[in-house]
């Protein structure tokens, strides 16, 4: 089963990092957040990816095309440019095993239309989609199994966002009982990690956001929610970038791979 990762946005709210690189290439612990996302899927045996490129898409291509050189010892002959790569793959540090299709889906294309442009690469009955900036300790296999059992056309993963502001709690007499610093909220939001039947393409149109197509399916009762009660975080601002790098150093909750 293939997984589409949406990598085309400009990431304007993270401009400190995205002025010269696309948002999915912003690094957590020295590796792009895109790599972290792919490792989550790969942990459950899903290694076929389609990267929907847009803003600075060549940066993403260059990274993976040169990754073997970056992560291995190499020998270079400066006269003819011949490069020999030494295999550094070990049991403790195995090399990544990804199959990747890179597709330029346009600079300003809405993400629903980006998915539509990739229809030609989806040959199986099911496919997955996620955003290029969200990480979680989600069990992808349980998500896929859930989708297969309910028989609907779409499954989205519901996650609890963390409030970007501190909340004030009061008692019945309006006396403050607590200042809650950026608590996890009760409501669910779409955290990505979506599964679709191939028929989903019939409900996508040019100019669509994903939510436009999902709204059409909601009216048909064809969208189910997979509730993820564990860790989830979307990297949207520079503060998120700092927070996730601090978390990687101390307690990387989404690192479910070995």
Each residue's pLDDT tens digit, 142-184:
999 999 999 999 999 999 887 776 778 888 888 888 877 766 6
Q: Can you list the alpha helix ranges (DSSP code H) found in the chain?
A: 15-18, 33-43, 57-65, 67-71, 111-117, 140-150, 210-218, 238-250
Nearest to 31 by CA among 101, 114, 135, 159: 135
Q: Which domain holds residue 146?
A: 2-159+186-250
Share of the chain above pLDDT 90, in %: 73
**Is 15 a domain residue?**
yes
What is the percentage of the chain residues whose pLDDT exceeds 70?
Answer: 95
Confidence of residue 249 (pLDDT cuts 50, 70, 90): very high
Within-domain flag for 109? yes
> 170 in a domain, yes or no?
no
Is 130 within the bounds of a domain?
yes
Residues 6+ apart with CB under 8 A from 177: 169, 170, 171
- Can you give the CATH number for the domain in which 228 is found? 3.90.550.10
Domain membership flag for residue 58: yes
The dihedrals phi and psi of 79, each to the nearest 5 degrees, come to: -75, -50
Q: Residue 160 has what DSSP assignment?
A: -
Total count of domains within the chain: 1
| Residue 179 within any structural domain of the chain | no
**Integer Cα distance of 188 and 185 in angstroms:** 8
pLDDT digits (tens, 9 = 90+) for 178-227: 877 766 667 899 999 999 999 999 999 999 999 999 999 999 999 999 99
C-beta of residue 146 within 8 angstroms of C-beta of residue 168: no
How does DSSP assign 9-24, residue by residue?
A: ---GGGHHHHSSS-GG
């Amino acid at each position: 089963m293939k997984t589409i990762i949406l990598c085309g946005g400009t990431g304007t709210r993270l401009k400190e990092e995205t002025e010269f690189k696309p948002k999915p290439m912003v690094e957590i612990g020295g590796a792009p957040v895109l790599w972290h996302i792919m490792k989550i899927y790969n942990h459950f045996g899903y290694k076929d990816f389609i990267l929907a490129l847009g803003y600075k898409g060549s940066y993403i291509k260059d990274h993976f095309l040169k990754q073997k050189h970056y992560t291995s010892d190499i020998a270079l002959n400066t006269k003819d440019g011949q490069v020999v790569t030494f295999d550094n793959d070990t049991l403790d540090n195995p090399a990544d095993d990804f199959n990747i299709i890179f597709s330029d889906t346009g600079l300003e294309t809405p993400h629903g239309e980006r998915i539509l442009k990739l229809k030609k690469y989806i040959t199986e009955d099911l496919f997955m989609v996620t955003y290029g900036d969200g990480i979680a300790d989600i069990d992808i296999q349980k998500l896929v199994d859930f989708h297969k059992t309910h028989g609907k056309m779409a499954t989205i993963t519901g996650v609890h966002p963390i409030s970007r502001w501190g909340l004030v709690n009061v008692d019945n007499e309006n006396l403050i009982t607590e200042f809650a610093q950026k608590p996890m909220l009760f409501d669910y939001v779409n955290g990505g990690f979506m599964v679709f039947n191939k028929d989903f393409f019939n409900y996508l149109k040019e100019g669509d956001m994903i939510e436009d197509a999902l709204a059409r399916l909601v009216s048909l009762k064809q969208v189910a929610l997979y509730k993820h009660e564990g860790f989830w975080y979307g990297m949207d601002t520079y503060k998120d970038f700092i927070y996730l790098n601090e978390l990687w150093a101390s307690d990387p909750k989404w690192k479910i791979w070995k």
